[in-house]
Structures are given as structure tokens and as C-alpha cells.
Amino acid sequence: MHIMARGFIVWLIIMLVESLHGIVRSLVLEPLIGDFRARQISVFIGAILIVAITFVFVRWIKASRMLDFIIVGIMWVVLTVGFELFIGRFAMDLSWERIATDYNLPHGGLMPLGLLVMLFAPLAMAKIADEI
């Protein structure tokens, strides 16, 4: 199986875990601290989940070059932004303005930080696992 196909499968696992994480956030955290603050905290929890999943699967991806891991990270970010936009707008019927709040760093939207973690997780975990 090709590196990109394996990377895509790991991304699907990440999206499944992140979707479950979002459900738990909505049911547990939001009632306690409110929607926006819960989404902010969720970025950090999500980043930990992404790193953990990447660590578990980094050898299975079977990449051997730094560039391969960087390309996998780029693919994950592009797919994730597309997934977020599609699910947010069309499945959850959120406004574009509401979706944009997650990406607005100056106003507390922390999603770009989570995407940076996602971008570099394959490379960082490959280095830790001595895959490159």
C-alpha cells in the first residue's frame, strides 16, 4: 500500500477520534464553560490525540524520508480543513462567520495551532520513533 493511502487511513482514524472528542466536548465541557471556551480547550486536547494517534501509526505509514512525512502532514491539514468546512457548513448548518471564529487567532480561535500540530505530527513522531 502506498504511503499516501496509509496516511489517508490514519487521517480517517484521527477524524473518527476527533469527531467523538467533539461529541464529548459538546455534552460535557460546553455546559460547564460555554461553547467558545470549550472549543479553545478542545484544540489542546485534540492536539494531544493527534500526536498520540500519529505516534501509534507512524511506523505503519512506512515512509522513510522527511519529505514523505511532511507531505502526509500537508495532506492531513488540507483534508481536515475541507472536512471542517463541509461538516460545519452543510451537516451542522453553521454560518461561515461561526466557522471562521475557530480560525481567528487574534480573537482567540485556536484552530490554526491545532493544524500546525497536525502538520508536523508525522515528521515529529517519525523522528521520535527513529523512522527517519
Range of the domain at 75: 3-126
Asked whether residue 53 is assigned to any structural domain, the reply reads yes
Q: Domains in the chain: how many in total? A: 1
Measured in whole angstroms, the distance separating CA 56 from the mean position of its chain's CA atoms is 15
Helix residue spans in the chain (DSSP H) = 3-24, 30-33, 35-61, 66-86, 96-101, 111-128
pLDDT at 94: 94
CA–CA distance, 78 with 73 (Å, rounded to integer): 9
pLDDT at 130: 86
Asked whether residue 83 is assigned to any structural domain, the reply reads yes
Asked whether residue 132 is assigned to any structural domain, the reply reads no
Asked whether residue 131 is assigned to any structural domain, the reply reads no
pLDDT at 26: 96
Q: Which residues of the chain have pLDDT under 70?
A: none
pLDDT at 131: 74
Asked whether residue 119 is assigned to any structural domain, the reply reads yes
Asked whether residue 20 is assigned to any structural domain, the reply reads yes
Q: How far is CA 78 from CA 30, 32, 35, 40, 98, in A?
A: 27, 32, 25, 21, 20
Asked whether residue 100 is assigned to any structural domain, the reply reads yes
pLDDT at 1: 80
Asked whether residue 107 is assigned to any structural domain, the reply reads yes
| 4-41 pLDDT tens trace | 999 999 999 999 999 999 999 999 999 999 999 999 99
